[in-house]
């Protein structure tokens, strides 16, 4: 049986708050601190993903990636169109047509 000697230590408030968040009701701060010295066996994770069919995963992801790319292109196109409209509105480009300021602002708001 080991004797329990008490030692006072000083920690920053940030460290105390961190330990308090980790501490369960039935644990002492010593228990929390000592839990950090436990060794974690990473060897148990070796080979976990070797059974995954990566070719099938890639096929599943292609439509999703295409969708993301398409949306990204659309966002860029809308942004460029809004920039062009803003230049047109503020006179940096001559008006391509006889559109009113309101029509240009409406188009910018709608993102078309």
pLDDT score, position 95? 53
Q: Is residue 83 part of a domain?
A: yes
Least confident of 31-35, 42-46, 70-74: 42-46
| Residue partners of 85: CB distance under 8 A and separation at least 6 | 104, 107, 108
How does DSSP classify residue 23? -
Q: Is residue 86 part of a domain?
A: yes
Residue 1: band (very low, low, confident or very high) from pLDDT cuts 50, 70, 90: very low
Q: Are residues 69 and 105 in the same domain?
A: yes
pLDDT score, position 99? 63
Q: Is residue 44 part of a domain?
A: no
pTM (two decimals): 0.34
Q: Is residue 95 part of a domain?
A: yes
Percentage of the chain surpassing pLDDT 70? 81
Q: Are residues 106 and 67 in the same domain?
A: yes
Q: Is residue 23 part of a domain?
A: yes
How many distinct structural domains can be found in the chain? 2
Q: Are residues 68 and 106 in the same domain?
A: yes
Range of the domain at 28: 13-39
Residue 93: band (very low, low, confident or very high) from pLDDT cuts 50, 70, 90: low
Q: Is residue 48 part of a domain?
A: no
Least confident of 6-10, 28-32, 42-46: 42-46
Helices and strands (H, E) in the chain, number of each type: 4, 0
Q: Is residue 57 part of a domain?
A: no
For the beta carbon of residue 103, count every other beta carbon within 10 angstroms: 13
Q: What's the average model confidence in pLDDT over 87-98? A: 63
What angle (nearest 5°) sits at the alpha carbon of residue 28, between those of residues 23 and 31? 85
């Amino acid at each position: 049986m080991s004797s329990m000697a008490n030692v006072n230590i000083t920690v920053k408030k940030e460290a105390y708050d961190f330990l308090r968040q980790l501490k369960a009701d039935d644990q002492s701060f010593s228990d929390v601190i000592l839990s950090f010295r436990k060794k974690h066996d990473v060897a148990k994770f070796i080979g976990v993903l070797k059974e995954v069919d990566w070719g099938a995963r890639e096929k599943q992801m292609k439509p999703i990636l295409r969708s993301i790319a398409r949306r990204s292109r659309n966002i860029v196109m809308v942004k460029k169109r809004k920039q062009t409209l803003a230049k047109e509105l503020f006179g940096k480009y001559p008006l391509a047509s006889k559109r009113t300021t309101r029509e240009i602002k409406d188009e910018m708001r709608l993102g078309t």
